[in-house]
Amino acid sequence: MPSKSDRTKQRIIELSAPLFNTKGYAGTSMNDILAATGLTKGGIYGNFSGKDEIAAAAFAHSYGQLRAALARATASQATAQGQVLAILKFYRNYTVQPVVPGGCPIMNAAVETHDAYPALHRQVRAALAELLDGLHLILARGMASGEFRSNLSTSYEAEYLYAQIQGGILLSQTSGDPRVLNRLLDRLRDYVTNQLAG
């Protein structure tokens, strides 16, 4: 059973994660964290060395939620093509129904952390690499089973699909129109079923 200290630490992470993902890493202050958690400064600093450590734990938490939700979305699919299509379906309406408040934690953190938060940016890069690797493995299984063309570059296709999804999220968020993302997802669905199919 987790100790009281462990429970407090987890509470800080869970309540801070939406702040960082919504307001940004620079835009989230310690006062914001204090207000969200209802703790005193002593309660925060008794568990974390400072905002940067909380931010790292908060990103890991948000990314973990995204990764778990994607795993649930693909778990029921027996085929590689079914898993890729399930990923596309997962992102439908994502800008208005995100897993984590504020949208995609990877995209939100990627640009902001590039220069200002190098340690956190390494976390973001590792998370992105993990998602791309997972998609690459699904595509490779599809090639092995004959579902996808045998001459695919699975790494390239994984990058292409993920870049299209993230680009769609960016366009939808910026325009305030979730249909932009959904149109791109429809085109990707056709691409997967018609262009990548074996």
Q: What is the pLDDT of residues 104-156, one digit of tens each?
A: 999 999 888 877 888 899 999 999 999 999 999 999 999 999 999 999 999 99
Q: What is the pLDDT of residues 9-47, one digit of tens each?
A: 999 999 999 999 999 999 999 999 999 999 999 999 999
Distance separating alpha carbons of residues 95 and 25, to the nearest angstrom: 20
Cβ–Cβ contacts within 10 Å for residue 193, how many? 12
Fill in the amino acid letter for 118: P
- Tell me the pLDDT band of 164, cut-offs 50, 70 and 90: very high
Report the mean per-residue pLDDT for the chain: 94
Rounded (5°) CA angle 80-83-87: 145
Q: State residue 93 phi and psi, 5-degree precision.
A: 60, 25
CATH class (in words) of the domain with range 56-195? mainly alpha
